[in-house]
Amino acid sequence: MTSRSRPIITRADAGWPEEWTAASRVYLDWDLCLLSVEHDGSITWDELQAIKNNLAGGVAVTIEVYPPADRVVNNIAMRHLWLLGDDEWWPDLGREGEVRPATLRDRYLAAQLIDGDRQ
């Protein structure tokens, strides 16, 4: 592996998990919180989840972004998983619990909504 900023793991490395059958190379950029997985085109959700769990932890939450058509870059079989911070909101398929502002921006916007209701 290289620096904490951008470790690269390949199928040729010792310790490559045998259940990672479609992935061929994995990049983890802790500065960007980006997990990029190069694969053979047949990668499954389960394999991506296993890679995420192995490298970022089982409690980590990642998302994929599907940009507007004119911003798509699709010249290699690679998936990009963006790691969310501990306090970032994400849709948890009905198990979201109590809604609470988590960031300064959220708290500011919530306060504006409350003030607007009072007027």
pTM of the predicted model over 0.85: no
The band of 2, judged by pLDDT with boundaries at 50, 70 and 90, is very low
Q: How far apart are CA 83 and CA 46, in angstroms?
A: 17
pLDDT, tens digit (0-9, with 9 covering 90-100), for 90-100: 877 767 666 67
pLDDT, tens digit (0-9, with 9 covering 90-100), for 3-43: 455 778 999 999 999 999 999 999 999 889 999 999 999 99
Q: 87: closest CA among 116, 113, 61, 68? A: 61
The band of 115, judged by pLDDT with boundaries at 50, 70 and 90, is low
* pLDDT (average), residues 80-105: 80
pLDDT, tens digit (0-9, with 9 covering 90-100), for 48-65: 999 999 999 999 999 999
In 1-119, beta strands by DSSP E: 8-10, 23-29, 34-39, 62-63, 78-83
